[in-house]
Structure 1
Amino acid sequence: MSGRSTTIRVIDADAVHAALSYDALIDALGAAFAAMPDDIPPRAHHHLPPARPGASDGTLLVMPAWNPRAIGLKVVGVMPDNPGVGLPTVIGSYLLLDRETAAPLALLDGAAITQRRTACASALAARHLARADARTLLVIGAGALAVHLIRAHVTSRPGLARIRVWARRADAAQAVIDALSPAERAALDVAVVSPDALDAAVADACIISAATRATVPLIRGHLVAPGTHLDLVGAYTPAMCEADAEAVARADVFVDGREGAAAEAGDLIQAVAAGRFAMDRIAGDLADLSSGRHPGRRDDGQVTLFKSVGHSLEDLVAAELALRRDAGGA
């Protein structure tokens, strides 16, 4: 990239989604993690006191990354009062700079970048960790990530034919299915899991992808079938948990980044506190899997677990790819 121009390109959410196909982003993430530099700092958390009397506290997250071509900086605000003024609780922007000069190249929608890169990082992990003959995907949670997780996992594992969606409210799960295109719904066996039938769905799934803010485990380890791959995307604070200590103890655990997982991954932190896991038992990260330093799944009976907390390299890869494609590049 050249930083000789000071013109900054603005890429909105629709353009980000249009530019980032799942297959291209999964491949780009794999290549980047295979050659990951060792000097990318962890995500910084900053407490934001109320901006006015009576307002809620907020959180500011800052995620920098760089490579020989570009510098990227994602800034995310977690602002509980935003829905009252018509804005999402989590709101963010991504600034892409030229590596040599730090001249601004692009400002991208941070939520769209996050949705695409998070789903594709999970799919990249599943490429290495899920069984090749996986047929049933269970998605737990009906937030903005759910549709992207379905599409990314189906891209990574084309044999997936049965998609099940669970949420605490059946209408929310149905809304996820309705967000799929008619062609997608015709090609897949998609159905809502009744709110009281989660345990049976867990036992029946080949891949379980959870993206929630649960503080009480939704996935009970003794129900997880041999050969299952767990993709835990939510539980992004130590107080949150999507899978119980038994599930963590039974699995070979992989993460996107070890430092972030040790500080933020509620599922792992709570399993450590319960005496069922130790952070030195983490089998590998996305760099290990993508580079071939770890072979991934060993056998069809192995339970694998990928814990995603978000890695700033993922955002940088997505932003570079979005800028290149939005500007007409391949």
Structure 2
Amino acid sequence: MRIISAAELEAVLDFGPLVERLRRMFRSGCEAPVRHHHTVPTLGQHAATLLLMPAWQMGRHIGVKIVTVFPENGEKSLPSVMGAYLLLDGKTGTPLALLDGPTLTIKRTASASALAASYLARPDASRLLMVGTGALAPNLVLAHATVRPIREVLIWGRSVAKAERLARALGRKGLSVSATDDLEAAARGAHVISCATLAREPLIRGEWLPDGCHLDLVGGFTPEMREADDEAVRRARVFVDTVEGATKEAGDIVQPIAAGVLDAGDIAGDLFALTRGERAGRRFYDQITLFKSVGTALEDLAAAQLAVELV
């Protein structure tokens, strides 16, 4: 069995090929049961969580991502979220590869947002606002720049120092990148706004969104988390990665539905419908679009298959 490290995944998973592999996988589909959540007692104050995310294509591959969340790891200078991805032969069950889970997740998550933007962002979108400064942020910027002619990038974060450090790092990638402390002004001038935060209260206001803007919401992964307000949802044509996941787990979808701002039937489509041509993406130039992702095991399987082919 091969061991594929984070460094190897960084080297081989370029966003262009990965976006196209995700496009193909959403078109063809695979079996991806709802993720398994298990609470694990610990010796600390807070229980840990074990997540199992399986997916398979008959006769090809079986994959499962194993993720642990230990809330108190920060006190030990360890990441709170860790994991690994196991890829097996779909004909015999033979283990083929064990891949670094966090890097695989970051790459496929950013690529899913770029895949959505390839249908939903304006073809001439050149100005991107990145809200958040974590590990996903630079990957989201580069992924969006793969599918749209992004030239100018503004970075906003709760820590200006972190935003400035990220801006300097991304500036070496051939982009014009700056940090900003004025979120409203940055949003009003953006063609694409990508958010990857742990916010529980909305950061992006719908009244700020300029006509023709595409809003990419990535960070919130529980019903209690929220990155954009009701007005943003009200003004936008709303898409999700999977309807089943987003309507159960994404606060940016669950809360507007509960408040009567959004009906589940008003969700314009998901990545299955977009990639298969069953639903149109952006209908006109000045339309505001919104994409909310929570992740699906389908994306992990597609990324793992590509990585094993290339390493």
Fold conserved (TM > 0.5)? yes
Shift of 1:218: 0.3
2:83 alignment partner in structure 1 = 92
Is contact 1:43-1:260 (8 Å) kept? no
| 2:300 is the alignment partner of 1:301 | no
Normalising by structure 1, report the TM-score: 0.92
Stretches of structure 2 that go unaligned for 5 or more consecutive residues are: none
2:29 alignment partner in structure 1 = 36
2:156 alignment partner in structure 1 = 166
Q: Spell out, residue by residue over 1:298-325, the C-alpha distance to the aligned partner (whole angstroms, 9 max, x if none).
A: 1011111110100110000000111110
* Alpha-carbon distance in 2 for matches of 1:246, 1:191: 28
Residues 253-268 of structure 1 aligned to structure 2 (within 5 Å): 253-268=238-253
Shift of 1:181: 6.2
Shift of 1:261: 0.5
Q: Spell out, residue by residue over 1:142-200, the C-alpha distance to the aligned partner (whole angstroms, 9 max, x if none).
A: 1100000011000011x211101000111111122233362x1xx32210011xx1111
| 2:130 is the alignment partner of 1:143 | no
Normalising by structure 2, report the TM-score: 0.97
Q: Which amino acid aligns with 1:67?
A: Q
Q: Which runs of 4+ in 1 moved over 4 A?
A: none
Is contact 1:95-1:107 (8 Å) kept? yes
Shift of 1:236: 0.6
In structure 2, the residue corresponding to 1:25 is in which secondary structure? helix
* Alpha-carbon distance in 2 for matches of 1:291, 1:230: 22
* Alpha-carbon distance in 2 for matches of 1:103, 1:293: 36
2:8 alignment partner in structure 1 = 15
Is contact 2:168-2:177 (8 Å) kept? no
* Alpha-carbon distance in 1 for matches of 2:263, 2:93: 40
* Alpha-carbon distance in 2 for matches of 1:59, 1:224: 36
Shift of 1:123: 0.2
Q: Which amino acid aligns with 1:22?
A: F
Of 5, 20, 36 in structure 2, the residue corresponding to residue 27 of structure 1 is 20
Q: Which amino acid aligns with 1:109?
A: D
Is contact 1:138-1:165 (8 Å) kept? yes
Q: Spell out, residue by residue over 1:102-126, the C-alpha distance to the aligned partner (whole angstroms, 9 max, x if none).
A: 1100000000000000000000000
User: What fraction of aligned residue pairs are identical, expressed as a percent?
Assistant: 49
| 2:194 is the alignment partner of 1:209 | yes
* Alpha-carbon distance in 2 for matches of 1:298, 1:241: 26
| 2:190 is the alignment partner of 1:200 | no
1:109 alignment partner in structure 2 = 100
CA RMSD of aligned residues (A): 1.1
Shift of 1:228: 0.6
In structure 2, the residue corresponding to 1:62 is in which secondary structure? strand
* Alpha-carbon distance in 2 for matches of 1:271, 1:102: 43
In structure 2, the residue corresponding to 1:180 is in which secondary structure? helix
Shift of 1:275: 1.7
1:3 alignment partner in structure 2 = none
Is contact 2:257-2:263 (8 Å) kept? yes
State the number of aligned residues.
310
